[in-house]
Amino acid sequence: MPVAAIAACDARSGPKTAALVELYTSEGCSSCPPAEAVPLALHVGYWDYIGWKDPYAQAAFEQRQNWLVRAKRQQTIYTPQFFVGGAELHSWRGALRGKVRQLNALPAAAAIRVRAGIASNGALALDAEATASAGDGPAVLYLALAESGLISKVTRGENSGATLALDHVVRAWVGPVRLVAGAVRVRREIALPAGWSRARLELVVFVQYARTGGVLQAVSARHCADS
């Protein structure tokens, strides 16, 4: 990957922890659309049997949701389900802002740098580096490419007849990539289909404990593909 291909966007994490918010959701779930306001929105397909196939669902997101629940020794998987910093958040309407502020006040346990831009073949070229201090076992790195401003007209299922406005929908997912001796570097190219709005894409990179699911640090880079 030529260096010139990744020079358009350069983001670094800060000294404090950036709270990673994950929402597990589905277009086929009638209680999910009100929660579609925060990143990352990972769509799952286990409600497809009701009658509407979620076009953004990926099996990897169902697997991740299951893993997060098991890592915290919980049993219930549902939508909409929030995880903040790798831990489930109940009563998200009232507790989300306070939990984010609490995590934002903590010193970061990892440092992340991500550079991205359009390669000569039209793909999004990514170069991410991370280091982490010793802590609760091995750590792994993930990259997520999300798109906002999506509109979906649902014709079947619980949301039949509804027009949904969707933000922070994860389109591409890379990881887990394990940190070795507390460090890792990942280089990838992600194809950008013509139907994706480059101006509304956001790249999120985060480091997480591989056993407990706790998130050490996250960084967001917007408009990396808008060039």
pLDDT at 87: 94
Q: What pLDDT, on the 0 to 100 scale, is given for residue 35?
A: 54
pLDDT, residue 94, reads 82
Q: Quote the distance between the C-alpha of residue 137 and its chain's center.
A: 22
Residue 207's pLDDT is: 98
pLDDT value of residue 2: 40
The CA dihedral of 169, 204, 24, 54, to the nearest 10 degrees, is: 30
> Where are the domains positioned within the chain?
3-222
Total Cβ atoms within 10 A of residue 146? 22
Q: What is the pLDDT of residue 79?
A: 94
Bridge partners of residue 127, in order along the sequence: 115, 187
**Do the Cβ atoms of 62 and 44 come closer than 8 Å?**
yes
Fold held by 3-222: Immunoglobulin-like (2.60.40)
What pLDDT sits at residue 58?
98
CB 216 within 8 A of CB 139: yes
CA–chain centroid gap for 59, Å, is: 14
Tell me the C-alpha distance between 3 and 207, whole Å: 24
pTM (two decimals): 0.92
* CB neighbourhood size of 196 (10 A): 17
How many other β-carbons are positioned within 10 Å of the β-carbon of residue 205?
Answer: 27
Please report the pLDDT score of residue 4 as a whole number.
42
Low pLDDT (below 70) residues in the chain: 1-7, 33-37, 223, 227
Rounded to an integer, what distance in angstroms lies between the CA atom of residue 80 and that of residue 36? Answer: 9
